[in-house]
Amino acid sequence: MPEKKTNLSDLNILLGVSGGVAAYKAVALASKLTAAGAKVRTVMTEAACWLIGPKSFQAVTRSAVFTSLWDPPEGDKISHIALADWADIVVVAPATANIISKIANGICDDLLSTTLCAASPLIKSGATLLAPAMNNNMWDNPAVQRNVKMVKQMGFELIGPEVGRLANGKEGIGRMAEPKDILKAIEKIASLMLDA
């Protein structure tokens, strides 16, 4: 039976995974994106790799996973530039306080942060999405809120965070949006791109 065409069919989606406990949900998101026909490449931070293995993403996307700025590039390409140029849409899920701070302040010290910096044309076109995930105390921190405001001004879209059970067992704001909801937000971005 042929795969059903969706508005994600054949789109290149770069999935950034930073080091929050919600990284396990990103595997489900990667699977849903692949099932919808998207070509998915994953960039993981070192902290994300402590929480979930790159092989999980490789298995569901059938694509290599990029984990280090120092990985050998493909041919003569520079990895972070090539990844940014390849992507039609960039999604970071989970987007921790750390990666949001790096984006807001132009810090480029790992593969994900340098790729996000190189993806600035996508940011201007609204083809970027962050799914914040962190403890409510971190989310409410004035520095984090300043950084959130800055990334929105830079053109990043945000989904969440939601109120719910957090990693410490308490209820509060900071829970990453569910993969099905992030998928809907990506489909909306894709529809706007197709209409443009």
Distances in Å between the alpha carbon of 171 and those of 7, 44, 62, 64, 130? 35, 27, 36, 36, 22
In angstroms, the CA 192 to CA 182 distance is 16
Within 8 A by CB and 6+ apart from 162, the residues are: 173, 175, 176, 177, 178
Average of per-residue pLDDT across 146-159: 94
Are the beta carbons of 42 and 30 closer than 8 angstroms?
A: yes
Cβ pair 38, 11 in contact under 8 A: yes
pLDDT band at 119 (very low <50, low <70, confident <90, very high): confident
Residues 6+ apart with CB under 8 A from 61: 15, 30, 31, 33, 34, 40, 41, 42
- Domain 12-195 adopts which CATH fold? Rossmann fold (3.40.50)
d(CA 125, CA 196) in angstroms, rounded, equals: 10
User: Residue 1: which pLDDT band, with cuts at 50, 70 and 90?
Assistant: very low
- pTM for this prediction: 0.92
| pLDDT reported for residue 124 | 60
* pLDDT over 90, % of the chain: 72
Q: Which amino acid is at 44?
A: M
Q: Parse the chain into domains and list their residue ranges.
A: 12-195
pLDDT > 80? residue 14: yes
79-86 and 111-118 helices, crossing angle to 10°: 50
Q: Do 189 and 89 contact (CB within 8 A), yes or no?
A: yes
According to the model, what pLDDT value does residue 2 have?
44
Do the bridges between strand 65-66 and strand 128-132 make them parallel or antiparallel, or are there none, so unpaired?
A: unpaired
* Res. 38: pLDDT tops 90: yes
> How many CA atoms lie within 13 Å of 95's alpha carbon, on the beta-carbon side?
29
Six token digits for residue 139 = 């989310």
Burial of 102 (0-12, 13-18, 19+ CB in 10 A): buried
pLDDT of residue 21: 93
Residue 69: pLDDT band with limits 50, 70, 90: confident
